[in-house]
Amino acid sequence: MDTLVVHACSVTTAAWDCSFMNKDFVHRAVITVSVNGYNHDSKGTRFDYGKQTTDAGKDITETPLENLSATFTIEVSRYDIAAIVIPKAH
């Protein structure tokens, strides 16, 4: 999938985060994310910014994520950036 790129990822003592950019103007991207070697919480936050959010008159949208495991699937809308932030497990 040449139109989906990982824009940035980081791991700190407090959280794991990663940004995915779908550069396709027509198709959404469904991806499976695997996080190895980091004990993260089962809840996180997703931030979206892209054509669909700006067309709707919004800037960045924020959505809670739940039931996260070491491997999970996310959908990135067409021409969109999705940033995932997952805190470290307590």
Query: Residue ranges per domain, the chain?
Result: 4-87
Over the stretch 58-88, which tens digit does the pLDDT of each residue have? 788 899 999 999 999 999 988 899 999 999 9
| Average pLDDT rounded to a whole number, residues 14-23 | 92
Long-range contacts of 1-7 (CB under 8 A, 24+ apart): 1/29, 3/27, 3/29, 4/29, 4/31, 4/76, 7/81
Closest CA to 70 of 32, 30, 17: 32
The phi, psi pair for 70, rounded to 5°, reads: -65, -25
| Average pLDDT rounded to a whole number, residues 31-54 | 87
pTM: 0.83
Task: Output the six-digit token pair for 37.
Answer: 């070697």
The label of the residue with tokens 């940004």 reads 19
The predicted pLDDT at position 1 comes to 54
- For residue 51, pLDDT over 80 is answered with no
Homologous superfamily of domain range 4-87: Golgi alpha-mannosidase II (2.60.40.1180)
| Percentage, residues of the chain above pLDDT 90 | 50
